[in-house]
């Protein structure tokens, strides 16, 4: 007897939208699978922090002025060494190590301002992936911000779907049902074929060369996210290493539906990062092709001094 083939909603990683299908969660629905993304420090929060620090500095200055007007008995004490400012984290993967980096070209156009960079980025994506793929695959607004935010969240538990740089995968998750067990069908992998084919066709050197050229804008956006001393290239390498550390999935992958939404039946898979869950969902064959391309890109990014990729613990 043939195994029935059904289509079910993809397990969602965002409380509002499915990042693959774009489907909205039914009104009033709730599920243990719904997660709240980790708090983010955006530019507004950073501004408030700066205001608080400034207010504290003014208060301290006025307090010192008032104290200076009171006669006090001064007791000689040992001079305390000045408190050193908090050092920025050490840069592990300098952008200069990228093998595709080259001396500035005299004919190269200067970088646009971050807020008006979309037109330039649209042209760059069209050159890398083809003009026909631009509108079908990518969102064409806030391109750098979408890329930076997604890279930052790949090693985390969730990715806000509103910031994804690519459009949802077509169709619904394809599943098979046997008795009371529901599994992801092997046919589901075909939904990812256009994206995987496009990834395989990428020239890693050209991609990294474009990345190095636009890196100052990405670094600016990353710091605006709330990492004033952060280094985006380090975070990119962390995200790549996390994807490369994705375990090979063994079909069939069973899913559960405790309430409205689906989650993996295997607790170990359910605890994986958002990026690794995407790799698992696309099927082992597709994941192997993507990993091979990620290895190429990593080598171009890190250069001869780059260490071998290894799974690393990520901040929540």
pLDDT digits (tens, 9 = 90+) for 45-67: 232 223 333 333 322 222 233 33
Single out the residue of 299, 251, 311, 303 nearest to residue 275, CA to CA: 311
pLDDT at 148: 97
- pLDDT at res. 108: 67
> What's the pLDDT score for residue 118?
94
pTM for this predicted structure: 0.69
Dihedral sign (CA 266, 272, 274, 280) = negative
Task: Name residue 181's beta-bridge partners.
Answer: 178
Measured distance CA(23)–CA(253) in Å, rounded: 22
Mean pLDDT, the chain, integer? 74
pLDDT (tens digit, 9 = 90+) per residue, 203-225?
998 899 889 999 999 999 999 99
Token output for 222:
């990353």
Return the structure tokens found at 264: 């993996």
**74: exposed, middle or buried (Cβ count in 10 Å: 0-12, 13-18, 19+):** exposed
Residue 210: both structure tokens together:
């474009």
Residue 171, pLDDT score: 82
Question: What was the pLDDT predicted at 251?
Answer: 76
The reported pLDDT for the residue numbered 180 is 83
Phi-psi region of 256 (alpha: psi -120 to 50; beta: other; left: phi over 0): beta
1, pLDDT greater than 70: no
Kindly indicate the confidence band of residue 301, based on its pLDDT and cuts at 50, 70 and 90: very high
Q: Which H, E and C letters describe the chain, residue by residue?
A: CCCCEEEECCCCCCCCECCCCCCECCCCCCCCCCCCCCCCCCHHHHHHHHHHHHHHHHHHHHHHHHHHCCCCCCCCCCCCCCCCCCCCCCCCCCHHHCCCCCCCCCCCCCCCCHHHCHHHHHHHHHHHHCHHHHHHHECCCCHHHHHHHHHHHCCCCCCCHHHCCECCCCCCEEEEEECCEEEECHHHHHHHHHHHHHHHCCCHHHHHHHHHHHHHHHHHHHHHCCCCCCCHHHHHHHHHHHHHCCCCCCCCEEEECCCCCCEECCHHHHCCCHHHHHHHHCCHHHHHHHHHHHHHHHHHHHCCCCCCCCCCCCCC
Which tens digits make up the pLDDT trace of 225-248?
A: 999 999 999 999 999 999 999 998
pLDDT for 311 equals 41
Query: Cα 104 to the chain's mean position, in Å?
Result: 28
How many CA atoms are closer than 13 Å to the CA of 267, on its beta-carbon side? Answer: 0
In our burial notation (b when 16+ CB lie closer than 10 A, e otherwise), range 35-68 reads eebeeeeeeeebeeeeeeeeeeeeeeeeeeeeee
């Amino acid at each position: 007897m043939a195994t029935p083939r059904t289509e079910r909603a993809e397990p969602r990683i965002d409380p509002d939208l499915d990042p693959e299908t774009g489907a909205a969660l039914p009104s009033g629905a709730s599920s243990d699978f719904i997660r709240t993304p980790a708090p983010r420090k955006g530019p507004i929060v950073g501004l408030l922090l700066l205001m608080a620090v400034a207010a504290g500095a003014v208060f301290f200055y006025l307090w010192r002025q008032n104290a200076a007007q009171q006669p006090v008995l001064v007791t000689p004490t040992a001079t305390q060494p000045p408190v050193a400012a908090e050092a920025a984290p050490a840069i592990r993967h300098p952008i200069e190590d990228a093998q595709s980096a080259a001396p500035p070209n005299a004919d190269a156009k200067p970088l646009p301002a971050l807020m008006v960079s979309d037109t330039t980025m649209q042209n760059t994506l069209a050159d890398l992936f083809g003009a026909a793929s631009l509108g079908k695959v990518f969102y064409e607004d806030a391109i750098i911000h979408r890329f930076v935010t997604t890279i930052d969240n790949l090693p985390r538990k969730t990715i806000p779907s509103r910031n994804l740089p690519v459009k949802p995968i077509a169709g619904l998750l394809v599943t098979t049902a046997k008795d009371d067990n529901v599994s992801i069908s092997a046919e589901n992998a075909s939904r990812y074929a256009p994206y995987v084919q496009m990834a395989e066709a990428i020239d890693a050197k050209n991609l990294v060369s474009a990345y190095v050229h636009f890196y100052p804008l990405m670094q600016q956006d990353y710091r605006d996210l709330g990492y004033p001393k952060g280094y985006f290239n380090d975070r990119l390498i962390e995200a790549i290493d996390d994807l490369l550390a994705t375990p090979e999935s063994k079909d069939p992958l069973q899913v559960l539906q405790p309430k409205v939404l689906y989650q993996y039946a295997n607790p170990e898979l359910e605890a994986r990062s958002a990026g690794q869950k995407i790799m698992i969902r696309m099927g082992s064959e597709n994941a192997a092709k993507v990993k091979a391309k990620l290895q190429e890109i990593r080598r171009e990014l890190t250069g001869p001094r780059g260490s071998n990729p290894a799974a690393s613990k990520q901040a929540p």
